[in-house]
Structures are given as structure tokens and as C-alpha cells.
């Protein structure tokens, strides 16, 4: 049985450290504040946003909530973005995705002040990430990819020279994590797979590390992986559980793989809590840049 990588534990440690940094900021007259813009009432999104505010309260960061109805227009969402750009109490914020159909998400993300982009997904910040393969980087990093890397680092898993197979080319993780994994400080070699990949299972079998970020429950099977591989399970599906009669969160990795793995992140309890912790870390770092 491989090592279970406990995301909750590492996230709690990260938050305890951030709480101290928030104290220092306050002592120097800076109060960090996280803004959220939620459009509509998708139950998943409502839950994520509530979780983010609870995290803020835990470490002493102020919350600024903006809620718009499902039928909000592009201009209304754009106005909410402009208000948070101008609000000095808001040091960083996110627009919860997905936005209702008909609102161009990329056009909204474009309007976010890159200095307040807590998700690290503004084109300017993504561009900075592309341009800086070496040295320090002073712009906010995308939360989920950063969470994955911090989580592996917390368990002393060295990615230098490792073959990483990423499954999925979504914006929140698949398409950007390679930019972090291939930075000189991490030094991994990355293959990015998607529905156009010819033999995705062949790529998985070759990999030292698999980052599964598709949202296809149980996609990665024991016969697809190498003995001693490291499994990072990011994808989230809600699957009906016959036994309990309730919907349960399921990851992209079949639990039967754990036996063969050197280490694995459970789902839930792995990457999710780290994603949230990295959002807070971005907000604290953005506030620290004001010092």
C-alpha cells in the first residue's frame, strides 16, 4: 500500500503559517481581504464560495461577498469586477467559475486587475509564468497546480527528472500545471494528454507521476500504472452511491490503484483542501507586496 498524502493536514499547516503572516501584516497596518463574485446559485459553487469565506475567517482575512442572480448580464458582472478592482479593502478576489451560459468567462477574467487575481488565472499572470522558467516569480500562481506541487513537496517527493503524465487540458489545472512542473526549480518532464491522445493508457504506464484532472470517475485503473508510481487525483465527480443512497465525491483514480502506488493523494482529502489553502496564500502574498 502506498503512502496516503494527507492534503487536509498539509493545508492546516499552511493555514497556521498564513495566520501568523496575517498578524504581521495587521501589525504593519495592512488588512488582507478576499473578495468573491458568485453569479447564480449552482449548489457546488455556493459550497465552494462558502468554504473560501470560512477559510478566510480562520486565518484573519476579511471577506467581501458579491452575489448576482443567475440572469445577470455581462455588464453587471463586469461592474462587480470593476468595483472590486477599485476597492482598497479587497486585496485579492476570484470570480467563481463556471459563469452562467452566455457570459464570456475569458472576457470577464480579462477585466480583473492582475495584481488582485487571487486565482492566478489572468492572462498577464499566466504570461509571466510562461516567461519565467527560472528564478523567483512575483505574480500570483494558479492555485490548483501550485497546491499539487506544494503537497508533493511536503512529503519530500522530488520531481526532478521525473516523467509526469497529466490527464486533461482544462484551464484550472491540466493546461497550466506543466508550466509549474517544468520550471527549473521543479525540473519534471511533462506529457499532456486529452481526448485527442492516441493511446492515453500507454502514456500512463510509462509515467512516474500521474496527475489525473479530467473529472471522469475511476478512469485510472491498476493495470494502467507502473509499480511504485505517484498518483495525484484532482478530478471531481459526484456519483450516486447505492449503499448510502447519497451523492459522493469520486476522483479520477480507482482506489484499487493505491496498492501499486508509492504514494497517492486521496479524493476527497487531497488536492481540494490544498487548492483552497493556495488561494489564501495568494491573497496573503498579494497583501505582503504592498509593504
Ligand X SMILES: NC(=O)C1=CN([C@@H]2O[C@H](COP(=O)(O)OP(=O)(O)OC[C@H]3O[C@@H](n4cnc5c(N)ncnc54)[C@H](OP(=O)(O)O)[C@@H]3O)[C@@H](O)[C@H]2O)C=CC1
Ligand Y SMILES: Nc1nc(=O)c2c([nH]1)NC[C@@H]1CN(c3ccc(C(=O)N[C@@H](CCC(=O)O)C(=O)O)cc3)C=[N+]21
Q: Which residues bind ligand Y (CB under 6 A)?
A: 48, 97, 119, 143-144, 172, 236, 249, 267-269, 272-273, 275-276
- 55, 116, 117, 119: the catalytic one is 119
* Nearer residue to ligand Y within complex by CB, 194 or 201: 194
Tell me which DSSP letter residue 253 carries: B
82 belongs to an annotated ligand binding site = no
Question: If contact means CB under 5 to 8 A according to the sort of partner, which of ligand Y, ligand X, none does residue 220 touch?
Answer: none
- Choosing from 216, 218, 226, 258, the residue that interacts with ligand X (CB under 6 A) is 216
Q: Is the peptide bond before 275 cis (omega within 30 degrees of 0)?
A: no
Q: Which 226-245 residues touch ligand X, going by CB under 6 A?
A: 234-236
Q: How far is the CB of 270 from ligand X (least distance, A)?
A: 7
The interface partner of residue 174, options being ligand Y, ligand X, none and the CB cut-off 5 to 8 Å by kind, is: ligand X
Stretch that binds ligand X, among 32-40, 59-67, 180-188, 211-219 (CB under 6 A): 211-219
Feature table: binding site: 168-170, 236
Catalytic residue IDs: 52, 96, 119
Feature table: binding site for NADP(+): 168-170, 236
Amino acid at each position: 500500500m502506498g503512502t496516503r498524502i494527507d492534503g487536509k493536514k498539509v493545508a492546516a499547516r499552511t493555514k497556521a503559517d498564513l495566520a501568523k503572516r496575517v498578524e504581521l501584516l495587521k501589525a504593519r497596518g495592512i488588512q488582507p481581504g478576499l473578495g468573491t463574485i458568485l453569479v447564480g446559485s449552482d449548489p457546488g459553487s455556493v459550497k465552494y464560495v462558502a468554504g473560501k469565506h470560512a477559510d478566510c475567517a480562520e486565518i484573519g482575512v476579511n471577506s467581501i461577498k458579491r452575489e448576482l442572480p443567475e440572469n445577470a448580464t455581462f455588464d453587471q458582472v463586469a461592474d462587480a469586477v470593476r468595483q472590486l478592482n477599485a476597492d482598497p479593502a479587497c486585496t485579492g478576489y476570484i470570480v467563481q467559475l463556471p459563469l452562467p451560459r452566455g457570459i464570456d468567462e475569458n472576457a470577464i477574467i480579462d477585466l480583473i486587475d492582475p495584481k488582485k487575481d487571487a486565482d492566478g488565472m489572468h492572462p498577464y499572470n499566466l504570461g509571466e509564468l510562461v516567461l519565467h522558467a527560472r528564478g523567483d516569480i512575483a505574480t500570483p500562481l494558479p492555485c490548483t497546480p501550485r497546491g499539487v506541487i506544494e503537497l508533493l513537496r511536503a512529503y519530500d517527493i522530488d520531481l526532478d527528472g521525473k516523467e509526469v503524465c497529466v490527464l486533461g487540458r482544462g484551464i484550472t489545472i491540466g493546461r497550466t500545471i506543466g508550466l509549474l512542473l517544468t520550471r527549473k526549480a521543479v525540473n519534471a518532464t511533462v506529457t499532456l494528454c486529452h481526448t485527442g491522445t492516441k493511446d492515453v493508457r500507454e502514456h500512463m504506464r510509462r509515467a512516474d507521476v500521474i496527475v489525473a484532472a479530467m473529472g471522469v470517475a475511476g478512469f485510472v485503473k491498476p493495470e494502467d500504472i507502473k509499480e511504485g508510481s505517484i498518483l495525484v487525483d484532482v478530478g471531481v465527480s459526484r456519483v450516486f452511491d447505492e449503499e448510502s443512497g447519497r451523492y459522493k465525491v469520486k476522483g479520477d483514480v480507482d482506489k484499487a490503484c493505491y496498492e501499486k502506488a508509492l504514494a497517492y493523494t486521496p479524493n476527497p482529502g487531497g488536492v481540494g483542501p490544498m487548492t483552497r489553502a493556495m488561494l489564501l496564500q495568494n491573497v496573503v502574498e498579494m497583501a505582503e507586496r504592498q509593504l
